[in-house]
Amino acid sequence: MVEKMSQAKLLKTVKKIIPPLTGALHKGQAGRIAVVGGSEDYTGAPYFASISALKLGADLSHVFCERNAGLVIKTYSPELMVHPYLRNTDSLGKPNDRQREIDAHVDRVVSMLPRLHVLVVGPGLSRDEVMMEMTKKIIIKAKENKMPLVIDADGLYLIQSEPELIKGYPLAVLTPNVNEFSRLCEAMNVRCDKEHIETAAEKLSQALGNVTILQKGENDTISNGKEVLTCSAEGSPRRCGGQGDLLSGACATFLAWGKNYEAKAWDHSKNDDLDDDFETRLPLLAAWAASLLARNCSKAAFAKHGRAMTTSDMIEQVGGVFQSIFEPDQKQAVL
């Protein structure tokens, strides 16, 4: 368990990387996020992840989804940029053209990577063989571009099957729930039974080459194999689908802010006293901050809606919760 003073220091550090609300910034500097996911049967998850990133304060949010999911996701919100470039097994052409068609569509996604800061991989992806193959190629290219990755849902199924995809990649954050965590531990020969559960996230991170693990549970445990953080902020007893997607989108936004802070996308000369190891700890900090935000959004939404609470109600709380916890002091406008 992290002590209260440590929690306060973590919060202080996260606040420093939040972009200021100033006319000096231009569109995109506060984060350009993309979600790789969304299939014919699962269109809500990529929407929740991408809209949560926007609501938190990212400037632009993209969704790379399967062709049949594109129009559906577009109808959810005009704020999202939806690119139906992914394909599944049923939507490919002739068998002898399969690989060429897959590569062509992957290239469409890859061509946009230089315009993005962070990828969220997995919400609504499905386990279709072709979708998995395309996602694998996208992850490889994203790593070549040194992009932070947040991997959730069916993206974790891919990692479970092929852990070498992200093993040793320090910019990856994995956000497994109880069942996903158990399967990842099994794949990496890490014990996570009751006797070993308190150290399992740390051991799993080490087994995966120190990627950051956000183990979701009654308390969220975050580890990069060297350090362990715990977020035990009060949430709610409601377990509606989509809450993890909000968490993933929020984590991506905090990662983008940290990445742009490092790149000096805005003047922070008066606020430039971060620890020397900030760059290596950024995924850990982003995961902790996202956990804190998601738990408080759940608490606020449940207080208002009770058992009727859904993830959409949580998303409505993002702005207010963020302001109450993270918002740096802003000068009042002069009228």
Is 177 known as a binding-site position? Answer: yes
- The DSSP line for 172-235 is EEE---HHHHHHHHHHTT---STTTHHHHHHHHHHHTTS-EEEE-SSSEEEE-SS-EEEE----
Tokens of 300: 């606020």
Residue 20, annotated as binding a ligand: no
Answer for the pair 91, 105: CB distance below 8 angstroms, yes or no.
no
Q: Residue 276, annotated ligand binder?
A: no
219 is in an annotated binding site: yes
Residue 215 marked ligand-binding: no
Confirm whether residue 32 is marked as ligand binding.
no
57 is known to lie in a ligand binding site = no
State the virtual CA torsion across 55, 32, 250, 181 in degrees, nearest 10: 150
218 assigned ligand-binding residue? yes
**123 labelled ligand-binding:** no
Q: Are strands 81-86 and 118-121 parallel, antiparallel or unpaired?
A: unpaired
Helices (H), the chain: 4-16, 44-56, 67-76, 98-110, 129-144, 154-161, 178-187, 197-207, 243-262, 278-305, 311-316, 318-325
Is 87 annotated as ligand-binding? no
Is residue 241 a known part of a binding site? yes
- The answer on whether 178 is annotated among ligand-binding residues is yes
Q: Is residue 51 within 8 Å of residue 311, measured between CB atoms?
A: no
On whether 243 is known to bind a ligand per the annotation, the reply is: yes
179 assigned ligand-binding residue: yes
Binding site annotation covers 275?
no
For residue 175, give every residue at least 6 positions away whose Cβ sits within 8 Å of its Cβ, in sequence order, or none: 150, 151, 152, 156, 214, 216, 244, 247, 248, 251, 287
Known binding residue 238? Answer is yes
215-228 in b/e form (b: 16+ CB < 10 A) is bbeeebbbbbbeeb
Q: How far is CA 93 from the centre of its chain?
A: 32
Question: Is 299 among the annotated ligand-binding positions?
Answer: no
242 is in an annotated binding site: yes
Consult the annotation and say whether 235 binds a ligand: yes
Binding residues for (6S)-NADPHX: 124, 177-183, 245
Binding residues: 124, 177-183, 216-220, 235-245
Binding residues for ATP: 216-220, 235-244
